[in-house]
């Protein structure tokens, strides 16, 4: 039995190496995106985290091959070749995950596929989506409207029209970096990992993941509002040479810390050390 499992593991490793060579153009595209696209700079961490989580679950399960997985493997590979031929690399990357899921099913069985479902799905968060770029302007406009409401409640003499901010001492623009897209994607990724690691009802974990969206948006609105306040009273040099660089990580950390009490509210109170 041990020898059979070793042989199956060797064959699976060989197929994985061949698959990596075949999918090299997509990996090269992903690598370029991770280093050049600030919205997905966290993507380089997703792969090793997923690999570690998969290893933790895989080593606890027995392998039992299932040829039904070949159909899913073939589907994923067919989609991959089609999307690569059309240079739709982000869809080809999703097809790679489908192919990998099919391989897990083929070599390890349906039970192992269920155990590795989260690590496989988590890989999807490393893939840059075109919608991220398209969402910057609508989110920047929405952030500007919300910041305008908040700032006027605080009594500041600031005018915000669309993404244009008019101060008595300067004119500013709420740009793509202040749209909140980057913090939204990053917070969703971290929250998804946290929701997987905690013990609790399924509805509680899903609610925790859903809560990451308003938390990210709220933290970004507060950050932009405070940035405008600093620019109004301390000047644009203080706002953009110092505060702009450090406020982002601080507000992101604050939103991240709020996930913990929310987890308790949603009855997710303990870590599942068996998956970590």
How do the pLDDT tens digits run along the chain, 276 residues long?
Answer: 455 556 666 666 777 777 778 888 999 999 999 999 888 988 899 999 999 999 888 776 667 888 899 999 999 989 999 999 999 999 999 999 999 999 899 988 888 899 999 999 999 999 999 988 888 888 888 998 898 899 888 888 888 888 888 888 778 888 877 888 988 999 999 999 999 999 999 999 999 999 999 999 999 999 998 888 888 888 888 887 788 878 888 999 999 999 999 999 999 988 888 777
Pairwise CA distance, residues 97 & 261, whole Å: 33
Check if the beta carbon of residue 63 is closer than 8 Å to that of residue 107: yes
For 107, 162, 195, 217, 229, the CA distances from 201, given in Å and listed in that order, are 30, 42, 10, 26, 42
- For residue 124, the number of C-alpha atoms closer than 13 Å in the C-beta half-sphere is 13
Check if the beta carbon of residue 276 is closer than 8 Å to that of residue 197: yes
| SS3 category, 155 | coil
Check if the beta carbon of residue 148 is closer than 8 Å to that of residue 164: no
pTM: 0.87
Beta strands in the chain (DSSP E): 159-161, 164-166, 171-173, 198-199, 270-271
Name the DSSP class of 240.
I
DSSP codes of every residue in 84-130 = HHTT-HHHHHHHHHHHHHHHHHHHH-HHHHHHTHHHHHHGGGGS--H
């Amino acid at each position: 039995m041990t020898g059979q499992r070793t042989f199956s593991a060797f064959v699976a490793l060989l197929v994985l190496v061949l698959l990596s060579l075949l999918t090299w153009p997509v990996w090269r595209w992903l690598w370029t995106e991770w280093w050049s696209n600030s919205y997905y700079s966290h993507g380089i961490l997703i792969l090793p985290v997923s690999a570690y989580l998969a290893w933790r679950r895989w080593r606890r399960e027995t392998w039992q091959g299932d040829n039904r997985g070949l159909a899913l493997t073939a589907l994923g590979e067919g989609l991959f070749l089609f999307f690569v031929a059309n240079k739709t690399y982000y869809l080809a990357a999703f097809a790679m995950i489908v192919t990998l899921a099919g391989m897990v099913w083929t070599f390890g069985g349906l039970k192992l596929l269920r155990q590795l479902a989260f690590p496989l799905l988590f890989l999807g968060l490393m893939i840059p989506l075109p919608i991220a770029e398209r969402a910057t302007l609508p989110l920047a406009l929405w952030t500007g409207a919300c910041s305008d409401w908040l700032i006027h409640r605080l009594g500041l003499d600031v005018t915000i029209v669309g993404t244009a901010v008019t101060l008595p001492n300067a004119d500013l623009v709420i740009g793509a970096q202040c749209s909140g897209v980057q913090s939204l994607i990053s917070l969703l990724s971290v929250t998804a990992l946290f929701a997987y690691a905690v013990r609790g009802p399924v509805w509680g974990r899903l609610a925790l993941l859903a809560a990451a969206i308003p938390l990210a948006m709220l933290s970004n609105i507060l950050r932009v509002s405070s940035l405008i306040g600093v620019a109004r009273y301390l000047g644009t040099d203080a706002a953009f040479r110092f505060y702009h660089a450090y406020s982002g990580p601080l507000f992101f950390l604050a939103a991240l810390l709020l996930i913990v009490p929310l987890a308790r509210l949603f009855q997710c109170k303990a870590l599942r050390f068996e998956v970590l």
